[in-house]
Amino acid sequence: LAEPELSKNQIETAFGYIRYPEHYENVEIAVRVCETLGVSSKSILRGITNTVSDPGALKILEKEVKGKRQRFVFAFAANDVVSFEKILKSDQKNGVNSILSF
């Protein structure tokens, strides 16, 4: 196997640029596969920071309906309880990062 070029810190930095909820482990796996295939660190980081979310990725929308604030949660890609809970806990830590108003 190829020697990993990216440190855990660099993976965490790349993870921080993702604009939607994603499992850290998925990013780490993608990075390690790219490293094994000989993709440069610069290309890996650029690719990760330019990714777009899965159409089913978690989205939380807030809207006022009849004077009450309503929260709509779209979580079609969360296909197991553990992953869903992990995403929601991450969202709570990040505050309003994944909350969109419409």
Q: H/E element holding 36?
A: helix 24-36
**What digits encode the pLDDT tens for the residues 12-56?**
877 887 877 677 888 888 888 888 898 888 888 888 888 887 777
Average of per-residue pLDDT across 81-88: 74
The answer to whether residues 45 and 64 belong to one domain is no
The answer to whether residues 66 and 38 belong to one domain is no
- Domain of residue 90, residue span: 59-101
The answer to whether residues 91 and 63 belong to one domain is yes
Residue 2 lies in a domain: no
- Which pLDDT band holds residue 100 (cuts at 50, 70, 90)? very low
Residues, the chain, total? Answer: 102
Give the max Cα distance, the chain: 59
- Which pLDDT band holds residue 72 (cuts at 50, 70, 90)? confident
Residue 3 lies in a domain: no
Percent of the chain with pLDDT over 90: 1
The answer to whether residues 45 and 68 belong to one domain is no
Number of domains forming the structure of the chain? 2
The answer to whether residue 92 scores a pLDDT higher than 50 is yes
Residue 54 lies in a domain: no
